[in-house]
Chains A and B, each alone.
Chain A
Amino acid sequence: MLTFFNRTYSTQKVKWDIMAGICLQRKPVITKSLTNIEVNYQNILQEIEFEKSLKSDHELRHDKDVQRIEQLKKGKINFDDADPATNQSAQDYLDQNKEELLKFKLSSRITEADEKMDNKSLNRKLEENLIFVIKQKLGHDDFWILPQGLWTNGETLKETAERVLKESCGNHIRVRFYGNAPCGFYKYKYPKTKREQSNVEGAKIFFFKATLLDGNVEEKCTWKDYEWATVQELNNRLIHPYMKSIKLFLSNYNV
C-alpha cells in the first residue's frame, strides 16, 4: 500500500508556467553628486596641490601688474610710457573670461520632472538608474511588477523577452539586451482555486536586463499604471520576496 502511494505521488508531475520578465533600465545621464566625504577629500587634495605648485604665467603677469601700479603711484614712471597693447591687466583678462563663462548657460542637473515629482518622465532623477515598473492585475489584486509574459513553445527565452517588451512597451523603443542568459529568477505559486482549475502550480519568471537606448514606452491596455522608478522607490512598490530576488541583479542598490 505504501509503495503504491509513493508511486502515484512521484508520477504526478507538477506543471509550472514559464515566463520572461524584463528589467528595462534607463542608465544615469549625469554623474553622481559627490558625497560629503568625497567633497572634503577633494578640497584637501586641491589645497595640497596648490601649495606644492609653482606660479603660472598668468600669476606672474598679475604680480607684475601689481608692481607696476605701485610704481605708478610713487610716480617713478609715466602713464604714457606704457605700451597700449599691454594695458590690459591680468585681472581684466580674468574678469573678461569669467564674464564669458557666466554667459554660457549649462542646463540644470535637476530637471522640470524632478520639481513636478513626475514619476512617469524619463527626464527625472538623471543621476540614478531608473527601472520601468508597471501596475498589473494578477488574480484579484493589483501588483507593481516588472513587465512579464508567458513563454510559448518554439521560442528561446530571449525571443520571449523581446516579444514581451514589444507587447508591454510598444514599437517606438530601441533597447539593448544584455546577452542571451537570464540574469535573475523568481517563482510564485498561483492561488489554490486556480491551481486546481488549470493544474498549473505557479509561474517561474526568468528576468532579462535591457537598457533603453532610444524612444519611450507607450501606454498599453495590458497594464494600468507605470512608473520610472529608482531602486529605493522600487523597494516601496514591490512586495518583499519579489524585491529580494530582483535586488540581486540590480547592481547599484543601496537599500
Chain B
Amino acid sequence: MFKFFKSLTTHHQCVSVAARNLSTYGGPLLFRASAPMFAEPLKKKKRLDPQILKAREDRKRKKIEKSIRKLEKVAKTFKPIDEVQLMALLSNEKNIRQRPAVEHTVDQLENRLSLVKQWAKHKHDEHYFNLQVINDLEYSQQRALNELREVSEELYQAAIEIDESLLPYELIGPVETPPIENYESPDGEYIDVTKKWE
C-alpha cells in the first residue's frame, strides 16, 4: 500500500515538472488514451414507403414461386430412355420388318443343345481353374511371408506394409489387333450430340 502511494506521488511530480513529456502509462490511476476509432455519426435511415416495400417482397416471392412451379413441371416428365422406349414408327412397321420364320431340322436343334451343354461345362471348368489359380497365388504368397518372418521380423514388417503407389491403378487392357506403328489418326470434326434435359 505504501509503495503504491509512493509511485503516485512521484508521478504527480513528473506531470507538474515536465508537462511536455507526458507519460500516460506507468501507474494504475493515470489516465489512458484509447485508440482512435474514426467513428462518425450514424446515417439517418431512409424511410421507404411501406407499400413499395411490400410490392418488392411480393415480386421476390412470385419469382421464387414461379421457379418452383417450373421445377415441379420438369420433375413430372422423365428423361426418355431411347433404348427402352419403342419408337412409334417401329411398332407400325413391325409387319414389314418381321423376318421369315426359320425352320430348323431336328439335327440342327440337337446340335445347338449339345453345344450349349458343352459351353456350360467349359465355363464350369474355367471357373474352377480360376479358383485354383487364386488359391495357388494365396498359398505361394503366404508361404513366402511365413518364411520371411522366420528369417527376420523386421523384413516381414516392411513386406506387409501397404504400397500406396499402386493406387490409383491404371490398366491398359489387351486389344483385338496390335497398335499400328507410327499411325497418325485422321483429323475429324467433333460434334457433341449429347442431348440436354432441363
Residues of A at the B interface (CB closer than 8 Å) are 16, 18, 27-32, 37-38, 40-41, 44, 51, 53-55, 60, 105-109, 111, 126-127, 156-158, 176-185, 187, 204, 206-207, 245, 247-249, 251-253
Write the nearest CB–CB distance from B102 to chain A, whole angstroms: 5
Task: For residue B83, give the distance in angstroms from its CB to the closest CB of chain A.
Answer: 15
Chain A, Cβ-Cβ closest to B183: A107
Cβ contacts under 8 Å, B94 to chain A: 54
Chain B residues with a Cβ closer than 8 Å to the other chain, count: 43
Residue of A37, A51, A157, A251 near B119 (CB, 8 A) is A37
Contact with A along B118-135 (1 / 0, CB 8 A): 110010000000000100
In the assembled complex, the Cα of A29 lies from the Cα of B174 at a distance in Å of 5
Query: Does any Cβ of A come within 8 Å of B175's Cβ?
Result: yes
Report whether B140 and A185 are in contact in the complex, using a CB–CB cutoff of 8 Å. Answer: yes
Q: Give min CB distance, A149 to chain B, whole Å.
A: 15
Q: List 14 A-B contacts (CB under 8 A).
A: A18-B151, A29-B175, A38-B122, A54-B94, A55-B99, A60-B93, A108-B178, A158-B159, A177-B163, A185-B147, A248-B136, A248-B139, A248-B140, A249-B136
Main secondary structure of the interface of A (DSSP, over half): loop
Contact present for A156 and B158 (CB under 8 Å):
yes
B137 within 8 A of A: yes
Closest to B119 in A: A41
Closest to A184 in B: B140
Q: Which residues of A contact B181 (CB under 8 A)?
A: 107
* Chain A: minimal CB distance from B195 (Å): 21
Residue contact A180 to B148, C-beta cutoff 8 Å: no
Interchain CB contact under 8 A, A37 and B176: no
Q: Is the CB of B115 within 8 A of A30?
A: no
The chain B residue sitting closest to A245, CB to CB, is B140
Given A31-B175, A179-B163, residue A44 in contact with residue B96 (CB < 8 A): no
Are A53 and B99 CB-contacts (below 8 A) given A37-B122, A156-B158? yes
Whether B174 contacts A30 by the Cβ 8 Å rule is yes
A151 → B minimal CB distance (Å):
8
| In-complex Cβ contact of B174 among A127, A181, A245 (8 A) | A127
Once the chains bind, are B141 and A249 in contact (CB under 8 Å)?
A: yes
* Complex: chain B residue closest to A206, CB-CB: B144
Q: Using Cβ atoms and an 8 Å threshold, which residues of chain A touch B160?
A: 180-181
Chain B residues contacting A51 (CB-CB under 8 Å) are 99, 102
A residues in contact with B163, CB < 8 Å: 177, 179-180
Q: Is the CB of A54 within 8 A of B155?
A: no
B63 within 8 A of A: no
Closest CB in chain A relative to B26 CB, distance in Å: 66
Instruction: Report the bound CA distance from A178 to B160 in whole Å.
Output: 12
CA distance A207 to B141 in the complex (A): 9
Within 8 Å CB of A105, what residues of B?
Answer: 180
| Min distance, Cβ A122 to any Cβ of chain B, angstroms | 12
Determine whether the beta carbon of B176 is less than 8 Å from that of A207.
no
Q: Does B177 contact A (CB under 8 A)?
A: yes
Q: Tell me if B144 and A182 are in contact (CB < 8 A).
A: yes
Mark out the residues of chain B between 135 and 181 whose CB falls within 8 Å of any chain A CB in the assembled complex.
136-137, 139-141, 143-145, 147-148, 151-152, 155, 158-163, 166, 174-181
